[in-house]
């Protein structure tokens, strides 16, 4: 009888242990036909981790001095970018680059403007959270104080639902934030209705003419802003290859050899390969209307300025940069063609993306202990 | 313990074992089946070497053409509909390609260019064909035939749902025109000004309501070139010779051939060169 009892207990333990359900798998809000992003095995997408990440993303208590949240520089109304040339950290430090939009970043082969080593959102997040030069969120040195702020009933429940127990740790903070950012998918622009849902009347005549220009060899836009995400390198369920997504667009040429301002020289800072001077990642054009100003340093204020920049084949001496991409060779547009191209870019705006409740701050934010 | 009790205990052990197996089977993920495994056992790897005359070209390569030194930024080529002829037979037999990131069962992409020496992995260059044929049968192959293109159906299909490598955006023009079948991007700093020159070959004269709509009929100029090569017994790899491709094309003086202007005279010469034997040879 004793053996039978042991067996029964073993069976029960096995059944519970092997089949206990983790948090709810995340239901992607992705239209039929589009691939799902790659997700690290160590950080599976769950409804609960995304919900926790959303709360943390909009929570100023996550910064050292409580002055800023992730959403201070990544504002939903601006496609999670900031309408300033460059951002400021929680303590006032200048961040040298323009805040990138967070649109379909789960598909990016690499993250940030110019780094070929950040291949997951989890890695990239460490920079704004813990970086000290410049200080952005300012967590370094304030770790314990910040984690203590999340010892409230609200956050205990959120952490327990996402990760099985109530402990708030930075590993979980990073994973939850990455899950939320990965959930920010946008596929409901008029262009998507036209191209992928075959709705012939989804775009204006002008935008359709602009689309033909965009995909022409004459303008060559699509060489770097290609694929369903309008960026060169997208990794996802159907595509695991990582091709070269960094380009010098001829924005600067300080010495005739293609030099960029010392403050920000692009990919060369990481690779130390001189040919990578001034190379930055081609960002997605989805919701590009909302993420002005443009380029890595926010030095182009509007889409009109961007179109004029590429029509000129660069800016100032940058036009003659020996390091400039062969596909930024310039083109001539009539005034009507300029407007058509702009209308096409405006057709990439997904209103639902910026208005969606799940992409905005919780109406009743979880309480923190201050 | 009597024999009846012993029997009951055996039954209990047996049922337990079955239950444990069921629990484990039901709660662990199935090991994915490698659909290529069988074919890989019977496959042939054909290396593809890129040359300019006697100069071998690989990552970040340079070669001299028309008196100027040119940097090879990108060479990419789609190969599809591979067929072989066995010795003493007259019929062509279709060959499947092994599926991987660079090959679908019908189409492969050869990919050489800058940057591929930084991370020498299969993720950023591909210079081989993996053919689904046994080494034994391969020895009996007397000729090989393939198209330097993407087949019409796949060429204009929804790029979202296409498998790799047909969803690489750098090789895709639009739904109307489909893919670039061949892509050659060169740069020289030997002239007064930096000069970029490109050859992007694909179907043109395609009729559809917009660039995001597929044509229903083949394009006026499909530009699908077929390569037919007899295969010597000792041959192991295929060579592509850019000197043959660029013969009589003054790339320093003439504009690129990207099928956007009527006056691209170089396009005609390049097409003639592709159609003349010598672009691809066995080594």
Q: Is residue A10 part of a domain?
A: no
Distance CA B206, CA A238 (A): 27
Residue-level pLDDT at A244: 66
Q: Is residue A325 part of a domain?
A: yes
Cβ-defined contact of A195 to B164 (cutoff 8 Å): no
Cβ-defined contact of A242 to B124 (cutoff 8 Å): yes
Query: Residue A123 sits in a domain of what CATH number?
Result: 1.10.760.10
Residue-level pLDDT at A49: 98
Closest residue in A to B126 (Cα) is A241
Per residue in B90-107, pLDDT tens? 899 999 999 999 999 999
Residue-level pLDDT at A156: 97
Cβ-defined contact of B167 to A14 (cutoff 8 Å): no
Best of A33, A212, A217, A313 to substitute, by most chain B Cβ atoms within 10 angstroms, is A217
Please determine, for the modelled complex, whether the ipTM score is greater than 0.95.
no
Supply the range of the domain harboring residue A129: 23-186
Cβ-defined contact of A241 to B168 (cutoff 8 Å): yes
- Note the pTM of the prediction, 2 decimals: 0.84
Q: Is residue B216 part of a domain?
A: yes
Per residue in A321-334, pLDDT tens? 999 998 898 999 99
Indicate the number of domains in chain B: 1
Cβ-defined contact of A18 to B23 (cutoff 8 Å): yes
- A147 and A28, same domain (yes or no): yes
Per residue in A75-94, pLDDT tens? 999 999 999 999 999 999 99
Q: Is residue A120 part of a domain?
A: yes
For residue B8, is pLDDT > 90? no
Q: Is residue B27 part of a domain?
A: no
Q: What residues have CB less than 8 Å from B17, skipping those under 6 apart?
A: none
Average pLDDT, chain A: 91
Per residue in A339-366, pLDDT tens? 999 999 999 999 999 999 999 999 999 9
**Option in A10, A238, A326 nearest B185 (CB):** A326
* Mean local confidence (pLDDT), B34-50: 72
pLDDT-derived band at A59 (thresholds 50, 70, 90) equals very high
Supply the range of the domain harboring residue B220: 37-282
Distance CA A137, CA A65 (A): 8
Taking phi first (over 0 means left), then psi (-120 to 50 degrees means alpha), and beta for anything else, what does residue A16 get?
Answer: alpha
Residue-level pLDDT at B32: 35
Q: Is residue A312 part of a domain?
A: yes
For residue A175, is pLDDT > 80? yes
For residue A252, is pLDDT > 70? yes
Among candidate residues A186, A213, A235, the one where a domain is terminated: A186
Instruction: List chain B residues with CB under 8 Å of A10.
Output: 16
Cβ-defined contact of B160 to A33 (cutoff 8 Å): yes
CA distance B194 to chain A (A): 7
């Amino acid at each position: 009888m004793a053996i039978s009892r042991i067996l029964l207990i073993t069976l029960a333990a096995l059944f519970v242990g092997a089949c206990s359900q983790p948090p709810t798998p995340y239901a992607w809000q992705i239209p039929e036909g589009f691939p799902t992003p790659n997700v690290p095995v160590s950080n599976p997408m769950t409804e609960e981790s995304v919900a926790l990440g959303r709360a943390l993303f909009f929570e100023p208590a996550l910064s050292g001095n409580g002055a800023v949240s992730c959403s201070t520089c990544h504002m939903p109304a601006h496609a999670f970018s900031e309408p300033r040339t460059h951002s400021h950290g929680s303590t006032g430090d200048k961040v040298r680059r323009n805040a990138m939009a967070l649109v379909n970043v789960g598909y990016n082969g690499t993250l940030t403007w110019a780094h070929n080593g950040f291949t997951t959102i989890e890695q990239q997040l460490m920079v704004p959270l813990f970086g000290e030069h410049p200080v952005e969120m300012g967590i370094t040195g304030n770790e314990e104080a910040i984690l203590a702020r999340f010892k409230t009933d609200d956050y205990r429940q959120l952490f327990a639902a996402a990760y099985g127990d109530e402990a708030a740790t930075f590993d979980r903070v990073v994973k939850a934030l990455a899950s939320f950012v990965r959930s920010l998918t946008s596929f409901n622009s008029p262009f998507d209705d036209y191209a992928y849902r075959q709705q012939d009347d989804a775009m204006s005549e002008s935008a359709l003419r602009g689309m033909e220009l965009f995909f022409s060899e004459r303008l060559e836009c699509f060489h770097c802003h290609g694929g369903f995400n309008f960026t060169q390198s997208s990794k996802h369920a159907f595509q695991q290859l990582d091709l070269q997504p960094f380009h010098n667009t001829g924005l600067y040429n300080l010495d005739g050899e293609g030099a960029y301002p010392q403050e920000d020289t692009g990919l060369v800072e990481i690779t130390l390969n001189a040919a990578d001077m001034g190379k930055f990642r081609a960002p997605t054009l989805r919701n590009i209307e909302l993420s002005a100003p443009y380029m890595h340093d926010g030095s182009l204020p509007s889409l009109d300025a961007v179109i004029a920049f590429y029509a000129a084949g660069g800016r100032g001496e940058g036009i003659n940069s020996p390091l400039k991409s062969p596909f930024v060779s310039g083109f001539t547009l009539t005034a009507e063609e300029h407007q058509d191209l702009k209308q096409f870019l405006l057709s990439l705006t997904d209103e639902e993306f910026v208005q969606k409740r799940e992409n905005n701050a919780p109406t009743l934010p979880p309480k923190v202990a201050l | 313990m009597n024999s009846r009790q012993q029997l009951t205990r055996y039954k209990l052990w047996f049922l337990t074992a079955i239950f444990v197996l069921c629990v484990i089977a039901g709660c662990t993920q199935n090991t994915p089946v490698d659909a290529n495994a069988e074919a890989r056992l019977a496959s042939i790897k054909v290396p593809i070497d890129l040359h300019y005359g006697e100069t071998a070209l690989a990552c970040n390569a340079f070669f001299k053409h028309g008196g100027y030194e040119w940097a090879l930024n990108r060479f990419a080529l789609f190969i599809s509909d591979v067929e072989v002829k066995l010795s003493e037979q007259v019929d062509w037999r279709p060959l499947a390609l092994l599926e991987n990131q660079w090959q679908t069962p019908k189409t492969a992409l050869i990919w050489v260019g800058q940057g591929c020496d930084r991370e020498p992995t299969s993720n950023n260059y591909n210079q081989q064909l993996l053919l689904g044929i046994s080494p034994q049968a391969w020895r009996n192959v007397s000729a090989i035939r393939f198209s330097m293109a993407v087949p019409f159906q796949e060429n204009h299909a929804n790029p979202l749902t296409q498998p790799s490598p047909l969803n690489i955006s750098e090789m895709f023009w639009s739904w109307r025109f489909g893919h670039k079948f061949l892509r050659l991007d060169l740069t020289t700093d030997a002239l007064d000004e930096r000069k970029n020159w490109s050859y992007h070959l694909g179907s043109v004269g395609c009729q559809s309501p917009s660039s995001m709509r597929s044509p229903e009929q083949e394009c006026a100029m499909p530009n699908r070139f077929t390569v037919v090569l007899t295969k010597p017994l000792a041959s192991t790899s295929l060579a592509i010779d850019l000197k043959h491709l660029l013969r009589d094309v003054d790339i320093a003086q003439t504009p690129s051939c990207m099928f956007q202007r009527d006056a691209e005279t170089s396009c005609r010469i390049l097409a003639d060169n592709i159609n003349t034997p010598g672009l691809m040879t066995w080594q």
